[in-house]
């Protein structure tokens, strides 16, 4: 595997969040320094930093940097401002539960150390943000190992959107087994859906897999059925933004169509994600909030001129819900959950040592 890309980190002076601007890939590698709450909100909303785990990490570092700027304030004001920033950042992208999960972990630090001064609290916040990122690296490695146990050398794998190192910290989730397998000398033939409208598959998945020496072929989203019919796909691997208690899963728009096709062609369809993406508070996909984005992303974002009448109405949901009945397994850092998910997802938290 080539040098891994650092997509989110603390700046060298420790006062800002540095991200690799994913909207510029694969053509330019541009790093951005985020200092204000607005910088962080915009970077997340505009998908400069994206992927469920990565926005959780960015949000956590962001809260630390904002807390650092408020060190001089009295305790009451510090807490009030912290809460305001937390709610503001949480609203930047509603679907991926990892963002609120990361922000809640930072808030829990404030509560735990409420007797200490703001200087000490900031030190704890820094440690927590670093821990969130460190744990993410370990969790990706573990998901990759479990995922690799599901496929064989030479298999064809279809993936949608980007759930690789750029979306996490290292290895990624859905791409993790493929990158780990490649490190072990295995060869896979990957089909990457381009993933309309923001092209995360074309721009990011192809970039990551090609750099790692994985055989990757780009297809348009509406070609998935054809490659499956041709017998070129032995498994589908996708990431997730939120998994409900019954196993219904939110992921990038178009994922559910891949799952429906896979069921038709009797191809196993796996969702790979950390336990921080499982939200047992959501009983089913019906209660997962789905982000609706600006219609201009469909009409003219990647074109020299608009590809539709400028005034045409657009419906641009960023995610869809894949019904649990279409999912062969949910691969977490603690093992592979199988249906019925209402039981297996709870059991995975027991394995983790948490009762839910
Ligand atoms: O809108 P995006 O690019 O943030 O959507 C990302 C996805 O849908 C990923 O599959 C998901 O976040 C998992 S990343 C490990």
Domains and CATH numbers, the chain: 8-140 (1.20.120.420), 150-355 (3.40.50.10470)
Whole-Å CA distances, 104 to 23, 85, 351: 27, 12, 22
% of the chain exceeding 70 in pLDDT:
99
Of 18-22, 81-85, 234-238, 297-301, which range is least confident?
Answer: 297-301
Cα(353) to centroid of ligand 1, in Å? 27
For 148-157, what is each residue's pLDDT tens digit? Answer: 999 999 999 9
* Least confident piece of the model among 42-46, 75-79, 197-201: 75-79
Q: Ligand 1 in contact with 241 (CB < 6 A)?
A: yes
pLDDT above 60 (res 158): yes
pLDDT digits (tens, 9 = 90+) for 292-336: 999 999 999 888 899 999 899 999 999 999 999 999 999 999 999
Ligand 1 atom having least distance to the Cα of 238: 10
Q: Which atom of ligand 1 sits closest to the CA of residue 319?
A: 8
Cβ(161) to ligand 1 under 6 A? yes
Ligand 1 pocket, mutate which of 7, 19, 57, 252 (most atoms under 8 A from CB): 252
- DSSP code at position 287: G
C-beta 51 within 6 A of ligand 1: yes
Catalytic residue (choose from 39, 241, 279, 320): 241
Segment 167-172 shows an average pLDDT of: 91
Listing DSSP states for 178-243 in one string gives: HHHHHHTT---EEEEE--TTTTHIIIIIHHHHHHTT-EEEEE-GGGHHHHHHTT--SEEEE--SEE
Q: What is the mean pLDDT of the chain?
A: 96
Query: How many residues make up the chain in this entry?
Result: 356
Tell me which residue has tokens 């087994």. Answer: 177
User: Is the beta carbon of 256 within 6 A of some atom in ligand 1?
Assistant: no
Say yes or no: CB of residue 328 within 6 Å of ligand 1. Answer: no
For a mutational test of ligand 1's pocket, the pick from 241, 258, 290, 327, i.e. the residue with the most ligand atoms closer than 8 A to its C-beta, is 241
* pLDDT score at 352: 85
Residue 241 annotated as catalytic: yes
284: alpha, beta or left? (left if phi > 0; alpha if psi -120 to 50): beta
| Residue 168 CB–ligand 1 contact under 6 Å | yes
- The confidence band for 1, taking pLDDT boundaries of 50, 70 and 90, is very low
Q: Grade residue 28 by pLDDT with cuts at 50, 70 and 90.
A: very high
Strand partners, 332: 335
Closest atom of ligand 1 relative to the 161 alpha carbon? 10
Residue-wise pLDDT for 247-300, tens only, equals: 999 999 999 999 999 999 999 999 999 999 999 999 999 999 999 999 999 999
Instruction: Count other Cβ atoms within 10 Å, centred on residue 37.
Output: 20
| CA atoms of 70 and 125, how far apart (whole Å) | 13
Query: Nearest residue CA, atom 6 of ligand 1?
Result: 51
């Amino acid at each position: 595997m080539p040098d891994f890309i650092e997509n989110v980190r603390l700046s060298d002076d420790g006062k800002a969040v540095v991200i690799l601007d994913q909207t510029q890939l694969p053509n330019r590698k541009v790093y951005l320094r985020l200092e204000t709450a607005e910088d962080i909100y915009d970077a997340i909303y505009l998908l400069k930093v994206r992927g469920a785990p990565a926005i959780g990490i960015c949000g956590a570092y962001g809260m630390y940097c904002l807390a650092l700027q408020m060190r001089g304030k009295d305790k009451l004001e510090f807490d009030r401002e912290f809460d305001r920033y937390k709610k503001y950042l949480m609203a930047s992208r509603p679907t991926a539960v990892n963002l609120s999960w990361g922000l809640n972990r930072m808030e829990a630090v404030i509560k735990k150390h409420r007797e200490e001064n703001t200087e000490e609290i900031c030190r704890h916040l820094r440690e927590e943000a670093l821990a969130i990122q460190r744990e993410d690296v370990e969790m990706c490695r573990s998901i990759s190992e479990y995922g690799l146990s599901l496929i064989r050398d030479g298999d064809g794998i279809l993936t949608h959107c980007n759930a690789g190192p750029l979306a996490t910290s290292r290895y990624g989730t859905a791409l993790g087994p493929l990158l780990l397998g490649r490190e072990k000398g295995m060869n896979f033939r990957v089909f990457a859906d381009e993933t309309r409208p923001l092209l995360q598959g074309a721009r990011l998945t192809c970039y990551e897999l090609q750099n790692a020496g994985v055989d990757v072929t780009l297809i348009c989203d509406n070609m998935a059925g054809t490659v499956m019919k041709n017998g070129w796909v032995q498994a589908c691997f996708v990431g997730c933004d939120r998994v409900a208690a019954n196993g219904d899963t939110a992921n990038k728009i178009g994922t559910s169509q891949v799952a429906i096709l896979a069921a038709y062609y009797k191809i196993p369809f796996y969702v790979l994600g950390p336990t921080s993406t499982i939200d047992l508070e959501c009983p089913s996909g019906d209660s997962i909030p789905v982000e609706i984005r600006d219609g201009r992303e469909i009409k003219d974002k990647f074109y020299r001129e608009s590809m539709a009448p400028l005034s045409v109405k657009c419906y641009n949901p960023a995610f869809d819900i894949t019904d649990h009945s279409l999912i062969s397994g949910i691969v977490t850092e603690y093992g592979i959950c199988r249906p019925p998910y209402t039981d297996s997802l709870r059991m995975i938290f027991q394995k983790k040592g948490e009762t839910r």
